[in-house]
Structure 1
Amino acid sequence: MSVDEAVRGLWRALSSRDWDGVKTFLSTDCIYVDMPVGPTLAARGPDDIVKRLKVGLEPLAGYENHDGVLVSNGADAMYEHSETWRWASGETAVLQFVSVHRVDDDGKVSLWKDYWDMGGMTAQAPPTWLEDLAAADTSWIFDATGLI
């Protein structure tokens, strides 16, 4: 699988919230980091990365990734895209993202870093969003300091 196919396939699976499908695109030691919160709150490995993703996305009434520009240079890819988040309480947030991925020779994503605007998200999300995140399962936490 090419770098482009791996990245787009991962995001198609995520947009569908196909958790098992997401795992198929991740290497066994893949590191995922939401860069606004930093490497001390990373996740490592397909199971823990999916646990981490579910914290934000599973409670949503609707979630969709909007495809964008994908630029790759060998194993590394930068993907500019956006997401729409919809809560059952009626709020909707549109987030602009740049995701950086490294794809191994076997077509699996081994590094995934998301860059997005935490302040923009907080302004659009329900007032309880940060409290809900703070109360979520954190068994996935991995400190990736020095590894990314």
Structure 2
Amino acid sequence: MTSSLRSAVLSRSYTLSPVQGAVPAARTWVRQMLDRWGLQHFTERAELLVSELATNAIKHAKADGAPIRVTLTYENHTLLLEVHDRDASSLPVPQQPVIDEEGGRGLFLVEAYADRWDVKTTAYGKAVRCELIDGEPT
């Protein structure tokens, strides 16, 4: 007999203020959720990705101190990480990093560590989304 049950969907969101300490809090939350779900094999990449995306949201999104929301969803062997902010007018654009510059590597790292990524405008701003897929090399 074949089971007709669909795979479980795991999903949680975390809201943080765009202040100093928010990025480490986002990394900790991601690590705790992945531990709870038994998906520790995603932890290293997911922590790096949430660090870059939350930093970009805090630094570049001109949202007047509006909160940032991080969402994790796991379904069909794919972990979706989303960072939402309220600024739909400044969409991230990948740039080639300059060796002597301190910043500018965020989306370069996202492209390197995520299996797929994109930006989606929403009713309240934008969401930068990354997928990590079980069994696919990075």
TM-score, structure 2 as length reference: 0.39
Q: Give the structure with higher Rg (CA).
A: 2
Structure with greater strand share of residues: 1
TM-score, structure 1 as length reference: 0.37
Between 1 and 2, higher relative CO (CA 8 Å, sep ≥ 6) is seen in: 1
